Amino acid sequence: MSGKVYLVGAGPGDPELLTLKAARILRDANVVLHDDLVSDAILLRVAASAYLINVGKRCGTKSITQSEIHQKMIALSRQGLSVVRLKAGDPLIFGRAGEEMAALRQAEIEFEVVPGVTSALGAAASAEISLTDRRASSSIVFISGHQAAGKDAPDWRVLAALRATLVIYMPGREHRRIAESLQWSGLSGETACAIVSRATTPGEKIYITNLYHLAEAPAFPAPTLLIVGDVVGMAHDSAAWNCWLPEDAQPQSTAA
């Protein structure tokens, strides 16, 4: 007897941004294998009878390998259980869903993908930034600040030439490197950017600056996301740069 695996997007953190379908599946689940970044407020939506298993891999620390996650999904499903693989944001964006779907196909396990609000959209909404604007940018590029071992870094020259809105997931402590790379590649140091920490949650922090001053930004609690492009400047006047939003927000010393 086999159950079914659901690859579910939990959204950026606010439980009200869960889709109706995701909320229903969480209520009906027997087992939930969740990422470390899934908020407690969302985990409270899981059925009280369900088993919660944290399979998070965060900041380079791995309590479980990706292969072990695959094995758990397959083994639990083969017991006839409804298994939810709950991922922060959207499972298809920097969520290793491709690897997990391949493992489930090979094991002939039924699965379904339930999309979620990716953090770029949650962060942009909180910061009141339109990611596209016909006056400034007609395209968006999502980039990961972390690459798999052996993979080349992004070609910043190509990205800069696109004049697109750049959304960099998981920039970590690489703000100086990113800012220098983009300026060397042709972007003006006056190009506005926004750092959003813990988007859509009560602990959310937003910082507006430009590439010249990006390296001077305070440390932020993870997860963080970096938005770079003229659309940021259009949303926030230069008088607001190098500051927190809202004005009474206080910097935290926790590193991203």
Catalytic residue ranges: 35, 57, 170
Instruction: Show the beta-strand stretches assigned E in the chain.
Output: 4-9, 31-34, 51-54, 57-58, 61-62, 82-87, 111-114, 140-144, 165-169, 192-197, 205-210, 224-228, 243-245
153-158 — which CB contacts under 8 Å span 24+ positions?
156/181, 156/182, 156/184, 156/185, 157/185, 157/186
d(CA 146, CA 253): 22
